[in-house]
């Protein structure tokens, strides 16, 4: 009665002790929280791939899944861009620098940066969907010579909802074409107005058949971005979406994050579009 | 553990009066023996100290939405089918401590409990229940992360299987290829006959225990009555689930109107998931002490029928009963194949018996299947919508 088990070296329920090293307001209701490991050996060992997420734990309040938004090559801290949505994120947002919390991770699938080599890449972000794309942007720009044309389309409801605006110029200088559009403008806004799909519709694509799209944002936005990409000649096998469901354990054991046959925590959150296409538009799945 | 085939497995005979010897031998080895016992008018699993704790002379009468105990006209120890409990309550306990947090001067001490697991000997494991353990092994031990609680408890367990000699109208293990015969996955397997038990050895640990019992090789007459007793269970199984292409049948019919029809009956009470021997959904809850300086992280059984289960960003993803019933059934019978390489259903019939309104999943599948064969039924061809937009 001793079934063979693929032993994982650590108890997956054990959280690492981390401390807040920086807190910054980002956009209304969104803050950036940098964390450092208490144990330098853990810090040494910890690596993540762009698109993965951590479980952040406030004892007594609970655990939440938050995508990592820092550069994967940055070793001194891990950054999370967090929208205040529930009691854990609200309490986290009020913690001062130096506060202690727990972290388990990294978990989940990552953006296909290997597949991007030698190809053009379009990144499409809606609102806070830019956060899990930021590590991919850092990685692509750190190895800029490996890739063809790089385009980033960022959409937000309002100009005040745009994340990381101070980094846009540096990204452009490093060889990323940044296109920004908002749903509703104010009098200070001089950029584009409309949806990300409008920008994608007009984007110059020199070789659609050799272009990848990575998208993260509201599910409905990703759906229309995907349809537009297919209309523009990208193949369904070259489109990647980042999905979101309730996450509880993050290790594929609790059942919460199921989406059809997928466990979002271990099979996702990032999926090749054609692998989830048949269930994406099924209501309440 | 090796599983000797039936042919080379020597069958022993344990006299009826010697069953206590087996229970004592297991207890002497440090096992906590758990088995069937009568509590709250049902046959449930609990601690057993002697054969007197077994439901001697009782049987269960089951139908969709109905369970009753009834006197037998003999003194059989295992003359029932299955009750509301399954062994998952010992391997994957309803409440488990998975981690703790203790406040220190500078932050939090985060730990995981390193307690020794209880060593259980399970007495009376049915064929469908052995299959359920194999399925939960895949869930808790077969993925990238292993559940430490399940792993320790499972590794320490000693399993005495008992072949069914009768079946309930809710049983359909023969459709799921999980029984009624216990063929592997046990240390010892018993078949109850009139004056005792035929005993098969399934592992070296089983062999060691059997060697300490007053057993003798079974006579051909005893073997014959064992075969007849087991055949009786096979013959009594009346329910069937047609599993042909069942994964695609259900996944191609996610918009079928029948889900709404089931939802009109389903109370979303979670009973089916609580009694299911393979359902594994859970939630971790924070349980702080009064000071807030010590926090237990407790994992409790949860259910996809609970509305909060899919809660995200201010609302539940599965807000309707039809979406929750669809999630349960398509997971159990369809997507389980994608995830774990087998069906999640073992055909034990518990979800049918313990459903307060008697919903029978085999009938719900049959309803969807028959609409496929009859194109005049509305919704039968709706699978063509599934690829909409991919033009």
Q: What is the CATH number of the domain that holds A67?
A: 2.40.30.10
Q: Where are the beta strands (DSSP E) in chain A?
A: 16-27, 30-37, 53-58, 62-67, 78-83, 100-107, 120-126, 150-156, 177-182, 192-193, 211-216, 239-242, 258-259, 262-263, 270-272
Residues 322-351 of B with CB under 8 A from A: 322-323, 326-327, 330-331, 334-335, 338-339
Structure tokens at B99: 């981690």
A119 lies in the same domain as A237 = yes
**Cβ-defined contact of B288 to A283 (cutoff 8 Å):** no
Tell which of B1, B110, B138, B259 to mutate to test the A interface (max A CBs under 10 Å).
B110
For chain B, give the mean pLDDT.
93
**Cβ-defined contact of A285 to B323 (cutoff 8 Å):** yes
A31 lies in the same domain as A137 = no
Helix (H, G, I), strand (E, B) or coil at B198: strand
Q: Are B32 and B52 in contact (CB under 8 A)?
A: no
**Cβ-defined contact of B1 to A17 (cutoff 8 Å):** no
Domain end position, chosen among A205, A226, A242: A242
- Kindly state the DSSP code that residue B16 receives in the 8-state scheme: G
Domain end position, chosen among A107, A129, A158: A107
What is the Cα–Cα distance from B286 to B284, expressed in whole angstroms? Answer: 7
**pLDDT digit string, tens, across residues B131-174:** 999 999 999 999 999 999 999 999 999 999 999 999 999 999 99
User: Measured between CB atoms, does B286 come within 8 Å of chain A?
Assistant: yes
Domain end position, chosen among A86, A107, A128: A107
A100 lies in the same domain as A140 = no
- Give the CA dihedral A154, A155, A161, A163, nearest 10 degrees: -10
User: Measured between CB atoms, does A1 come within 8 Å of chain B?
Assistant: yes
A153 lies in the same domain as A224 = yes
A158 within some domain: yes
A189 lies in the same domain as A122 = yes
A85 lies in the same domain as A118 = no
Q: If 0-12 CB within 10 Å is exposed, 13-18 middle and 19+ buried, where does residue A119 land?
A: middle
Model pLDDT, residue B314: 82
Q: How many helices (H) and strands (E) does chain B have?
A: 14, 16
The label of the residue with tokens 């809710």 reads: B170
A120 within some domain: yes
CA distance A62 to chain B (A): 6
C-alpha A271: how far from chain center = 12
Find, in chain A, the residue whose alpha carbon is nearest to that of B188. Answer: A1
Tell me the sheet residues that pair with B228. none
User: Measured between CB atoms, does B112 come within 8 Å of chain A?
Assistant: yes
**pLDDT digit string, tens, across residues B178-212:** 999 999 999 999 999 999 999 999 999 999 999 99
A257 within some domain: no
A201 lies in the same domain as A222 = yes
3-state helix, strand, coil in chain A (%, to 5): 30, 30, 40
Tell which of B121, B201, B312, B313 to mutate to test the A interface (max A CBs under 10 Å).
B312
A78 lies in the same domain as A193 = no
What is the Cα–Cα distance from B307 to B319, expressed in whole angstroms? Answer: 6
A205 within some domain: yes
Higher pLDDT: B6 or B277? It is B277
Model pLDDT, residue B372: 84
- Per CB-CB distance under 8 Å, the chain A contacts of B292 are 60
This prediction's pTM: 0.92
Structure tokens at B337: 């194949």
What is the Cα–Cα distance from A28 to B134, expressed in whole angstroms? Answer: 50
**Cβ-defined contact of B141 to A230 (cutoff 8 Å):** no
A255 within some domain: no
A188 within some domain: yes
A100 lies in the same domain as A117 = no
Find, in chain B, the residue whose alpha carbon is nearest to that of A266. Answer: B144
A118 lies in the same domain as A234 = yes
A221 lies in the same domain as A138 = yes
Model pLDDT, residue A281: 87
**pLDDT digit string, tens, across residues A111-121:** 999 999 999 99
- Per CB-CB distance under 8 Å, the chain A contacts of B185 are 1
A283 within some domain: no
The residue segments making up the domain with residue A148 are: 113-242
Q: What is the mean pLDDT of residues A2-7?
A: 42
A256 within some domain: no
Tell which of A5, A109, A279 to mutate to test the B interface (max B CBs under 10 Å).
A5
Element (H, E) at B272: helix B271-275
A46 lies in the same domain as A123 = no
CATH number, residue A209: 3.40.50.80
Number of domains in chain A: 2
């Amino acid at each position: 009665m001793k079934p063979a088990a693929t032993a994982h070296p650590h108890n997956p329920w054990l959280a690492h002790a981390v401390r807040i090293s920086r807190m910054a307001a980002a956009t209304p209701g969104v803050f950036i929280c940098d964390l450092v490991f208490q144990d330098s050996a853990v810090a040494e060992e910890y690596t993540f791939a762009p698109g993965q997420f951590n479980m952040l734990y406030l004892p007594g309040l609970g655990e939440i899944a938050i995508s990592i938004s820092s550069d994967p090559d940055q070793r001194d801290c891990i950054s999370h861009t967090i929208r205040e949505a529930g009691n854990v994120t609200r309490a986290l947002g009020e913690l001062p620098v130096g506060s202690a919390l727990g972290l388990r991770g990294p978990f989940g699938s990552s953006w296909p940066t290997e597949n991007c080599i030698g190809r053009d890449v379009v990144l499409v972000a809606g609102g806070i969907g830019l956060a899990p794309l930021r590590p991919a942007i850092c990685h692509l720009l750190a190895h800029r010579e490996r890739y063809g044309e790089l385009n980033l389309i960022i959409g937000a409801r309002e100009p005040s909802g745009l994340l990381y605006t101070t980094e846009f110029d540096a990204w452009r200088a490093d060889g990323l074409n940044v296109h920004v559009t908002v749903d509703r403008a104010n009098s200070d806004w001089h950029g584009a107005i409309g949806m990300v799909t409008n920008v994608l519709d007009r984007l110059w694509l020199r070789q659609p058949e050799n272009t990848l799209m990575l998208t993260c944002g509201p599910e409905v936005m990703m759906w229309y971005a995907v349809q537009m990409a297919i209309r523009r000649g990208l193949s369904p096998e070259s489109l990647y979406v980042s999905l979101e469901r309730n996450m509880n354990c993050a290790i594929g054991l609790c059942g919460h994050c199921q989406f059809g046959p997928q466990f979002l925590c271990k099979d996702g959150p990032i999926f090749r579009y054609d692998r989830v296409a048949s269930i994406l538009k099924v209501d309440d799945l | 553990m090796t599983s000797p085939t039936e042919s080379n497995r020597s069958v022993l005979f344990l006299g009826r009066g010697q069953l206590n010897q087996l229970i004592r031998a297991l207890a002497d080895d440090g096992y906590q023996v758990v088995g069937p016992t009568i509590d709250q008018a049902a046959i449930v699993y609990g601690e057993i100290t002697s054969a007197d704790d077994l439901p001697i002379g009782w049987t269960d009468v089951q139908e969709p939405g109905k369970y009753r105990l009834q006197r037998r006209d003999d003194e059989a120890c295992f003359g029932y089918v299955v009750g509301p409990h399954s062994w998952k309550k010992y391997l994957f306990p309803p409440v488990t401590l998975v981690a703790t947090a203790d406040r220190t001067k500078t932050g939090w001490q985060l730990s995981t409990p390193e307690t020794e697991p209880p060593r259980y000997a399970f007495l009376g494991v049915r064929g469908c229940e052995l299959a359920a353990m194999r399925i939960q092994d895949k869930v808790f031990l077969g993925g990238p992360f292993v559940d430490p609680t399940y792993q320790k408890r499972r590794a320490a367990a000693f399993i005495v299987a008992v072949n069914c000699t009768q079946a309930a109208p809710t049983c359909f293990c023969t459709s799921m290829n999980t029984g009624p015969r216990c063929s592997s996955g046990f240390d010892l397997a018993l078949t109850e006959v009139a004056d005792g038990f035929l005993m098969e050895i399934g592992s070296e640990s089983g062999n060691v225990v059997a060697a300490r019992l007053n057993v003798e090789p079974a006579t051909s007459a005893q073997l014959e009555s064992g075969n007849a007793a087991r055949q009786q269970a096979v013959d009594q199984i009346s329910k069937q689930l047609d599993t042909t292409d069942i994964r695609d049948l259900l996944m191609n019919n996610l918009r079928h109107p029948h889900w709404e029809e089931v939802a009109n009956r389903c109370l979303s009470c979670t009973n089916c998931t609580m009694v299911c021997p393979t359902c594994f959904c859970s939630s971790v809850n924070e349980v702080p002490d009064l000071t807030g300086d010590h926090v237990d992280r407790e994992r409790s059984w949860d259910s996809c029928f609970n509305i909060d289960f899919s809660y995200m960003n201010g609302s539940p993803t599965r807000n309707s009963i039809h979406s929750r019933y669809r999630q349960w059934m398509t997971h159990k019978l369809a997507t389980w194949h994608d995830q774990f390489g087998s069906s999640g259903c073992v055909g034990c019939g518990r979800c049918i018996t313990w459903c307060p309104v008697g919903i029978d999943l085999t009938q719900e599948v049959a309803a969807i299947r028959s609409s496929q064969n009859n194109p005049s039924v509305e919704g039968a061809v709706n699978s063509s919508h599934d690829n909409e937009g991919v033009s």
